[in-house]
Structure 1
Amino acid sequence: MKLKNILSTGALFTAATLSVQGAGETVPAEEVAMEKEDSPFSFNVSLDAHSHFMSYGVNVWGDDTKDIGDELLFQPSASIDYAINDTSGVYVGIWFDINDLASDPDVGPDLGGDTQEMDVWIGYWKTFDKLTLDFTFQQWYYLGETEGIFDVTVSYDTMFSPYIKMHNRIEAVGDQEKGQMYEIGGTLYEGEFKGLAYGFSAGVGFSFDDYHVQGEDGYAYSFLGASASYVIYSNDSLEVDLHGGLTYFDTEKDTTGNAENSYLTANFGVGFSF
């Protein structure tokens, strides 16, 4: 999903980046797949509301979502993860952007209602000691067309959990250019207090090959995010959590085409893990 990022980005999360999966905070796929020792499969559903739709630094809904409270975007997602073994796995998922900001949404498939976009993805991850490689192919359906994405993420299991993501647009919509974004980020701090898990993440993104705006490359955005989650129900087959977060984005208007230089975004939701 435009912000669905399989590894934390602060927006997925960008579709879909985290889980800043509670912006829907995106949990690294390898962690999700290994959570349940009794089965190689795990199933996850997240019902999330967002104040903004930030896609690699771009405020997709523009003036309609300048500030928290202007609109509420419903962005549910679901994923299936399969652990091949202790060091590799595959995953598939789907994400939706549902709101009434476009009078006649057309996302390709006849989804009807207020569905503005549908994203699907399939990925594979492989760990070498502390180094993890993650490959994700995505299809973003909106405006009656399809944007194709291929992401390559390299992360390292050490202090701050640093990662670098190469985000490649391989199919363009409208007057878009095929191009690349690079995002570098990590986790500043993680903790827990009386069952409340919380964390802080940060990152910076750079545009190449006229990814957002023709003739404009370079610094696109940076973000600082805070997220938290709390398990409200758990048994052998189901876990339910409440999660949410705040993410501040600094963006370069010339590079992203945004109307504003900065945005404070919010999200909250409920997650189900099977």
Structure 2
Amino acid sequence: MKFISRMNPGKLAAAGLALAIAALMTPATATAGTVSGKGVAPVTPPVEEKPFITGNLSLFYDTHFISYGQDVWGVGNDWGEWFFHPSMELDFQITDSLQFYVNVWADVNDQIEGDIGDYVQEIDVNVGFYYTLDKFKFQLGYGSWNYASQTEHIIDGKVTYMDGLINPFVAVHGRVGIDIPGYDEGVVAQVGVAPSTALGPVTLSFPITVSFDTDGFHAGDGGFAYVSAGVGASIPIHKQISLSVGATYYHTQDDVIPNADEDFVVGSAGIVFTF
């Protein structure tokens, strides 16, 4: 500063102009929180849109056909029978949070000669909505279950809290129409958990369900119906193909669900294609 103060006004003005030109020609120095003029500007990745249509095709072999705790074909603890249960679901992404679904499920076995086909005993068609809100997933749907010459009409509702640990849920299954003697319209209410964990590429699940019936729903009394506990494994063999195996133990209340055995174990194995 002392040097500059001794310069005459003309020289001082010339020096100031030279400093200003030098400053303009010198690359800017980056300061905290800014991007250097020589740096690459950050690129915001594009938001990946969810496909409008997704779905899955499942092909399962089961040792039993269990419907809300009822051992439909009275197999009990005999694993000598076979039941093929194919299903397919399509999910339509209406909004980021709302999906419309439609699925078809079939019971194929040789227990009797089926009215629908030689081995096709039942075909169920279900439609409804999934809605997610933060960690909550809601489901509301209608089903038309067709077997022999009867059609059973049902309404399903379910709320799951997907906490990533135990994933607790409550569900209501309502029968709003049926014409089978001994079986009444009514409600099945359930509470449970569906914890899962990853073991390398394999996903393990440990579902537990406690279920209650209204009077006559399964041609028995009302009250506690059953408790089940299972273990399952999903094993990826391709990006969109996985193998699934599992076993579930059931303890049923005989006066609510008149099964062949009160306690039995169900096994299953299948392949799942997602798209």
1:72 paired residue among 72, 82, 104:
82
Q: What is the CA-CA distance between 1:82 and the residue it aligns to?
A: 1.2
Q: Which amino acid aligns with 2:184?
A: E
Q: Which amino acid aligns with 2:224?
A: Y
Unaligned runs of 5+ in 2: 1-47
Q: How big is each residue's C-alpha offset from its partner over 1:223-271, in whole Å with a ceiling of 9 and x where there is no partner?
A: 001010111112xxxx111111000000001100112111100000011
Identity between Structure 1 and Structure 2 (%): 31
Q: What is the CA-CA distance between 1:132 and the residue it aligns to?
A: 2.5
Tell me what 1:266 maps to.
267
Distance 1:68 1:37, change over 3 A: farther
Q: What is the CA-CA distance between 1:90 and the residue it aligns to?
A: 0.8
The residue correspondences of 1:7-156 to structure 2 (distance < 5 A) are 37-62=49-74, 65-67=75-77, 69-103=79-113, 105-106=114-115, 111-156=116-161
Higher relative contact order (CA 8 A, sep 6+): 1
TM-score, normalised by the number of residues in structure 2: 0.79
Unaligned runs of 5+ in 1: 1-35
2:192 paired residue among 185, 188, 191:
185
Q: How big is each residue's C-alpha offset from its partner over 1:143-186, in whole Å with a ceiling of 9 and x where there is no partner?
A: 21100010111222224111111110011131121100001111
- Does residue 162 (structure 1) correspond to residue 174 (structure 2)? The answer is no
Q: What is the CA-CA distance between 1:127 and the residue it aligns to?
A: 2.3
The residue correspondences of 1:183-262 to structure 2 (distance < 5 A) are 183-187=190-194, 189-214=195-220, 216-234=221-239, 239-262=240-263
Counterpart secondary structure, 1:146: strand
Q: What is the CA-CA distance between 1:78 and the residue it aligns to?
A: 0.5
Q: Which amino acid aligns with 1:145?
A: Q
Distance 1:90 1:253, change over 3 A: same
Q: Which has the larger radius of gyration?
A: 2
Cα distance in 2 for partners of 1:267, 1:131 equals: 29
Q: Does the 8 A contact of 1:51 with 1:67 survive in 2? A: no
Q: How big is each residue's C-alpha offset from its partner over 1:92-143, in whole Å with a ceiling of 9 and x where there is no partner?
A: 000110001013x12xxxx422000000100112223223221010011012
Q: What is the CA-CA distance between 1:38 and the residue it aligns to?
A: 4.8
After the TM superposition, which segments of 4 or more aligned residues of structure 1 sit over 6 Å from their partners?
none
Q: How big is each residue's C-alpha offset from its partner over 1:34-91, in whole Å with a ceiling of 9 and x where there is no partner?
A: xx955121121001000011111110010xx223522110000001001222211110
Q: Does the 8 A contact of 1:89 with 1:125 survive in 2? A: yes
Q: Does the 8 A contact of 2:60 with 2:84 survive in 1? A: yes
